[in-house]
Amino acid sequence: MGVCGPQDLRTTLATLLVLLACLACTRHHGNPRRSAAAVTEPKYDDGAALGSHRSIRPAGGVKLPEVAAKPSRPDPYGGTLHVHLETEPPHLNPLQDQLQVIDRVVGNLVYETLIECRENQYRPGLAESWDVSADGERITVKLRSGARWHDDRVVSGLDVQATFEPLLRAGSCQPLLHAMLEDVEAVDVLPDRAARFRLRRPSDLVLRALCEIPILPAEILRKSGSAVTQLGRQPVGTGPFRFSAWEHGKRIRLVRSRPAQPPRPPFLDEIVF
């Protein structure tokens, strides 16, 4: 065994001091790796399996922030649409005058046409179907099942006949519509809520006219002049909105006439012109 010199003794003492300092540090702070894992590693509820949907809580019982409930979608139905009219219509009978302001209030809202022309196609309107004969001289329309006037009367082929007959006569107050119907000889009422247009010759204009001419109730059209005048003030139709009130000089109010359900729902509660 050799004798240690002064240099060796100083080296040994320095090494011992370093070891003592490291030992004290470890006891004071604990294991750094274990401490980090304890903070970041979550604890699972009562044996929840990996991939399960059970809740996770961090150590120490701190709750996770609650996720806000997804807001429900607003009801797509309801509300009032206000429409500005540049001028007040003289009346609301679209068969008496072909004015844009009249059509703007009642066209496809209070009244319906037999066929709708949309997207360059003929689509069902008040008529759920129609048939053109092989020679093109007969057009038969079948009215929509369950169609009723706003006063709850059933729509029939008689209403179709009463609407078109005045337009077929010479001297009609609607010269443009009369010209479109020039090839129509007569309109016949058929059973099972149907009507037939008899043509002198095939004409593409007739189907187009069925998209333009609204159907009005025969019960009123075939009465005295005062009843027809009253129809111009208080229209009765089959459309998605029914007439409610007319404050002359102020506003015309239409309200929804059908339940807000498919297949033909009005999405508004009312329209105020």
Q: Are 110 and 92 in contact, with CB atoms under 8 Å apart?
A: yes
> Residue 40 above 50 pLDDT?
no
pLDDT in tens, 202-222: 998 999 999 999 999 999 998
Q: Which pLDDT tens digit goes with each residue over 46-97?
A: 444 444 444 445 555 666 666 666 666 555 678 999 999 999 999 999 999 8
Higher pLDDT among residues 271 and 17, named by residue:
271
Query: Mean pLDDT, the chain, as a whole number?
Result: 82
Tens-digit pLDDT profile for residues 224-249? 788 989 999 999 999 999 999 999 99
pLDDT recorded at residue 49: 47
Q: From its phi and psi, is residue 224 left (phi > 0), alpha (psi between -120 and 50) or beta?
A: beta
Q: How confident is the model at residue 267 (pLDDT cuts 50, 70, 90)?
A: confident
Q: What is the pLDDT of residues 106-115, one digit of tens each?
A: 999 999 999 9
Whether 59 contacts 39, CB under 8 Å: yes
Task: State how far the Cα of 188 lies from the Cα of 217, in Å rounded to an integer.
Answer: 16
Give the span between the Cα atoms of 109 and 124, in whole angstroms. 15
- Higher pLDDT: 168 or 259? It is 168
Question: Can you give the pLDDT at residue 61?
Answer: 60
Q: How confident is the model at residue 117 (pLDDT cuts 50, 70, 90)?
A: very high
Cα-based angle 115, 231, 108 (whole degrees, multiple of 5): 25
Q: Which CATH superfamily is domain 80-272 in?
A: Periplasmic binding protein-like II (3.40.190.10)
pLDDT at 260: 59
The one-letter amino acid at 30: G
Higher local confidence (pLDDT), 47 or 171: 171
pLDDT at 152 over 80: yes
DSSP letter string, 160-223: HHHHHHHHHSTT-S-HHHHHHTTTEEEEEEETTTEEEEEESS--HHHHHHHHH-B---HHHHTS
Q: Distances from the Cα of 62 to the Cαs of 43, 65, 125, 211, in angstroms?
A: 11, 9, 63, 69
Region 146-157: mean pLDDT is 95
Q: Give residue 221's pLDDT.
A: 92
Q: Is the pLDDT of residue 173 over 60?
A: yes
Cα(109)–Cα(77) distance, rounded to whole angstroms?
16
CA 70, 75, 79, 85 torsion-angle sign: positive
pLDDT at residue 201 tops 80? yes
**Higher per-residue confidence, 153 vs 47:** 153
- Percent of the chain scoring above 90 in pLDDT: 58
